[in-house]
Structure 1
Amino acid sequence: MSNFHVALKKVVDDSYDVQIGCGLIDDMIQDIKEGLVGNKKKFAVITDSNVDEVYGRPVLEKILAAGYQGDLFVFAAGEKSKVRKTKEEIEDAMLAKGYRRDCCVIAVGGGVVTDLAGFLAGTFGRGVPVIHYATTLLAAADASIGGKTAVDTDLATNLIGLIYQPKKVYVDIDAWKTLPKRHLINGLAETIKHACLADYELFTYLEEHWQDILSCDKEACTYISEHNC
Structure 2
Amino acid sequence: MGEIDGVWWSSEGAGRAVVVPLLNVDWREIDLSALTGRFRVVIVAPPGFGPSPRPGSYDGSQLVSDVARVLDRLEVTSYATFGYSMSGVMAARLAYGDPRVAAVACGGFPLTADLSGMGQRARRRNAEARQSAPDWAELVEAYDPEAAVAFWDDVAALPPAALADIACPMRAWWGEEDGLLASMLAPDRLAADLERRGIPYDVVPGLDHDGMLDRLDLVLPSIADWLDDQLS
Bin the TM-score by the shorter chain.
Answer: 0.3 to 0.5
Bigger Cα Rg: 1
- What is the TM-score of this pair, normalised by structure 1? 0.44
TM-score normalised per structure 2: 0.44
Structure with the bigger percentage of helix = 1
